[in-house]
Amino acid sequence: MTTEELTGERQALRDAVRGLLSGYSTRAAIDAPDGFDPALWTRLCSEIGVAGLAVPEPYGGSGATLRETCVVLEELGRTLTPGPMLGCAVLATHALLRSGDSEACARLLPDLCTGARTATLAFAGDPAEVPCTASAGGRLSGEVPHVLDLACADTLLVPARTGDTTILYEVAAEAPGVARHETSPLDPTRRLGVLRLTDAPARRIGGDTDLGGLRDLACVALSADQIGAAAYALAATIRYVRIRVQFGRPIGSFQALQHRLAGAHVRMEAARSASYAAADALMAGAPEAPALAAVAKVYCSEALQAIAAEMVQMHGGIAITWEHDAHLYLRRAYASAQLFGSPAHHLERLARSLCSDPVGVAGPGQQGVDHLG
């Protein structure tokens, strides 16, 4: 977010998160056993309250909105800081809040807000695909790929088929029948894992689970992370072309590079607008919210890929060395594009919704689809 678009409280939140992140090394966190710095996560939770932003005060949170959560995600994306913000503080927390199970919320959310407990939602992103099933006795079996923050989670929230409905279940990470396997990640700053359940004991939470709504929330939250990464990649590239001298002058003075950077800036601002519009629609419960979430996922994914590619190209040879961070932003761009459904998947979803209900996705959603062209 630009300063002009931030309220005073959101600007203070952004500055607090940015100040805390400035003293930590992303490279060191990548090499940690769980892929992030637990001490940093504890400070983010205890000093700033990032894990409880969207949690109502009775459950230990601050009762803020999705936009405040997106402020934090932008800052974490800007520095590629690893941590369980997306998997735990967004997906798992909102899954609990949307379950309507007050007992489970009172039991789990206070510890999630303080960082004393971590949780993840075993959901790969497609509401039509629920790989786990629940027996009559409440035991779960199945395999879920691409689970965020799986290695560090104490509690697993697993959607499972029970007859014709999808129910959310709580599974202890160390319970019998639970196997967690870390995958080899394209993006080392965001680890994923495969969860395998074999007749694992589970505890039911709430009633029928709206995975479509959680998928839309995930796409919007991820778009905030993506525009944070894109904004930093663009700013770092602009700084570099001002000091890199070729043929006796800074390469930033070459008109061809100026045109490319101008195009990257336009992509950046359009992606920001798409993310903000989707977040506002979700908070308002607007009928076009699913379409806008899909637009944000597609456009922010493509914008980050394009801007990270420009970062690598304009930095030249140093960008492909391990010591420089440019390749990490490129890795984040391509890995994030596949989370919660690829851009192609969401474009197909938009096309189907336009054909079946053109009125419901008109307005901002239609504009987004037309712009994607």
Measured on CA atoms in the order 97, 99, 101, 103, is the torsion positive or negative?
Answer: negative
- pLDDT attached to residue 25: 84
Please tell me the predicted confidence (pLDDT) of residue 26. 85
Measured in whole angstroms, the distance separating CA 336 from the mean position of its chain's CA atoms is 8
**48 lies in the same domain as 81:** yes
User: Does 44 or 372 have the greater pLDDT score?
Assistant: 44
Q: Round to whole Å and give the CA distance between 321 and 306.
A: 19
Domain boundary among 114, 134, 149: 114
Long-range contacts: 358-364, Cβ < 8 Å, 24+?
Answer: 360/287, 360/288, 360/291, 361/288, 361/290, 361/291, 362/288, 363/288, 364/277, 364/281, 364/288, 364/292
Q: How far apart are CA 217 and CA 196, in angstroms?
A: 25
For residue 152, what is the domain's CATH number? 2.40.110.10
Query: Is 352 found in the same domain as 215?
Result: yes
Distance CA 84, CA 41 (A): 8
Query: pLDDT for 190-217, tens place per residue?
Result: 999 999 999 999 999 998 999 999 999 9
* pLDDT score of 357: 64
| Phi, psi angles (nearest 5°) of residue 192 | -125, 160
Predicted pLDDT at 158: 98
Phi/psi class of residue 225: alpha, beta or left (left: φ > 0; alpha: ψ in -120 to 50)? Answer: alpha
- If pLDDT is split at 50, 70 and 90, which confidence band does 360 have? very low
Mean pLDDT of the 256-283 span: 96
Among 83, 114, 145, residue at a domain's last position: 114
| Domain range enclosing 196 | 119-208
Based on the fold, state whether residues 43 and 85 are members of the same structural domain: yes
Stretch 347-367: mean pLDDT: 64
The reported pLDDT for the residue numbered 72 is: 97
Position 5 scores a pLDDT of 61
CA distance 185 to 204: 31
Among 129-138, 218-227, 232-241, the range scoring the smallest mean pLDDT is: 129-138
153 and 200 part of one domain: yes
What secondary structure does DSSP assign to 23-55, as a single string?
Answer: TS-HHHHHTSTTSS-HHHHHHIIIII-GGGTTS
> Residue 236: phi, psi to the nearest 5?
-65, -35
CATH of the domain at 221: 1.20.140.10
| Claim to verify: residue 75 and residue 223 sit in the same structural domain | no
Find residue 166's DSSP bridge partners.
161
Residue 361 has pLDDT above 60, yes or no: no
The pLDDT tens digits of the residues spanning 39-80 come to 999 999 999 999 999 999 999 999 999 999 999 999 999 999
Q: Are residues 223 and 361 in the same domain?
A: yes
Domain count, the chain: 3
Q: How confident is the model at residue 263 (pLDDT cuts 50, 70, 90)?
A: very high
268 and 191 within one domain: no
pLDDT score recorded for residue 57: 96
Q: Are residues 127 and 97 in the same domain?
A: no
| pLDDT value for 3 | 41
- Report the pLDDT averaged over residues 140-152: 95
- 363 and 247 housed in the same domain: yes
Does residue 234 contact residue 314 with C-beta atoms inside 8 Å? no
If we measure between CA atoms, which residue out of 351, 358, 349 comes closest to residue 128? 349
Distance CA 52, CA 171 (A): 22
Residues 178 and 127 occupy one common structural domain: yes
pLDDT at 363 over 50: no
Mean pLDDT of 115-139: 92
Task: Look up residue 83 and give its amino acid.
Answer: G
- Same domain assignment for residues 216 and 191: no
Does residue 167 sit in the same domain as residue 149? yes
Reported as a single tens digit per residue, the pLDDT across 73-119 is: 999 999 999 999 999 999 999 999 999 999 999 999 999 999 999 99
Residue that is last in its domain, among 174, 208, 242: 208
pLDDT of residue 358: 54
CATH of the domain at 69: 1.10.540.10
Mean predicted confidence (pLDDT) in 1-13? 73
**pLDDT of res. 337:** 96
| Mean pLDDT to the nearest integer, 135-156 | 94
Phi, psi of 198 (to 5 degrees): -130, 95
For 341-359, what is the mean pLDDT?
Answer: 83
Q: Once rounded to an integer, what is the mean pLDDT over residues 270-287?
A: 96
What is the residue-averaged pLDDT of the chain? 91
End-to-end CA distance of the chain: 25
| DSSP string across 307-336 | HHHHHHHHHGGGGGSTTSSHHHHHHHHHHH
C-alpha neighbours within 13 Å on the C-beta side of residue 208: 7
